[in-house]
Amino acid sequence: MADGSWYDADIDRVIISEKEIQEKVEELAAEVAADHADVEDGVLLVCVLKGALMFMADFSRALGRIGPSAELEFMAVSSYGHGATSSGVVRILKDLDRDIAGRRVLVVEDIVDSGLTLSWLLRYLESRRAVSVDVVALFRKPDAVKVNVPVRYVGFDLPNEFVVGYGLDYAERYREVPYVGVLRPEVYNRD
Ligand code: 5GP
Ligand code: MG
Ligand code: MG
């Protein structure tokens, strides 16, 4: 495509534009800042790699301009038996680097679908004696309403379609796409 990026040809439809994402990130940061104005030792942001990396980068900077200070933490987990038979069993590949006892924790999530990994993660963080553990998720899929995972801040409700971009991948690609879109069907049939 003239003046385009390599990925534009692979995207069938843009679901959420770059501008809409950036505006929503500012709104979410304003909400979180208002609810955490009294926090003296800063909030502890926990990003679950890799999908939430873009959101973490933009959200933490938006929060920094208006809200309490933050510490940025990263976790990597792998879930077993994903899909209908998922047991919600999770293995930690990278744990937190510090003690979270007594802290206000905010899990920064890309997308909540079945919510199984998140539900496990919330139990884990609570067992480490955080004062509060809240979730800010940029995207939510329809199935998320069926499970009882408390997501305090939600950016966008998405249709039940597989999307890529803004951190979300298909086979580890498309994470750098600045908007969220649906791939053309041919992309799934390559090699
Ligand atoms: P859950 O445990 O809530 O079913 O799944 C959440 C994880 O599945 C997300 O963090 C994300 O990595 C992945 N996921 C769920 N829906 C989508 C989607 O539409 N596109 C992509 N690329 N990943 C998704
Ligand atoms: Mg995630
Ligand atoms: Mg993925």
- Choosing from 78, 157, 168 the residue with most ligand 1 atoms within 8 A of its CB, the one to mutate for a pocket test is 168
Report how far Cα 55 is from the mean position of its chain's Cα atoms. 6
Distance (Å, whole) CA 86 – CA 44: 29
Which active-site residues does the annotation give?
113
The CA distance from 42 to 172, in Å, is 33
**Separation between Cα atoms, residue 69 and residue 37, nearest integer Å:** 10
ipTM of this complex prediction, to 2 decimal places: 0.95
State which residues form the domain around 95: 19-159
Residue 167 lies in a domain: no
178 belongs to a structural domain: no
Question: Does residue 7 belong to any structural domain of this protein?
Answer: no
- For residue 53, the SS3 value is helix
CA distances from 77 to 49, 66, 88, 96 (A): 8, 31, 12, 11
Structure confidence by residue, pLDDT tens digits, 114-123: 888 899 999 9
pLDDT of residue 86: 55
Q: What percent of the chain has pLDDT over 70?
A: 93
pLDDT in tens, 172-181: 999 999 999 9
Which amino acid is it at 113? Answer: D
Q: What distance in Å separates the CA atoms of residue 32 and residue 38, rounded to the nearest whole number?
A: 11
User: Per the domain annotation, does 184 fall within a domain?
Assistant: no
Distance CA(84)–CA(151), nearest Å, equals 21
Alpha carbon of 78 to ligand 2 centroid (Å):
11
**111 in any annotated domain:** yes
Q: How far is the CA of 167 from the centre of ligand 3 (A)?
A: 9
What is the CATH number for 130? 3.40.50.2020
The 3-state DSSP class for residue 182 equals strand
The three-class DSSP label of residue 135 is strand
pTM of the model: 0.93
User: Above 80 in pLDDT, residue 14?
Assistant: yes
Query: How many domains in the chain?
Result: 1
Model pLDDT for residues 69-104, shown as the tens digit of each residue? 999 999 999 876 554 445 667 899 999 999 999 999
The answer to whether residue 5 is domain-embedded is no
Question: Rounded CA gap, 36 and 46, in Å?
Answer: 16
CB atoms under 10 Å from CB of 151, counted, come to 18
Residue 84 within any structural domain of the chain: yes
Residue 51 Cβ contacting ligand 1 at under 6 Å: yes
- In a domain, residue 164? The reply is no
Tokens 């040809």, located at residue: 9
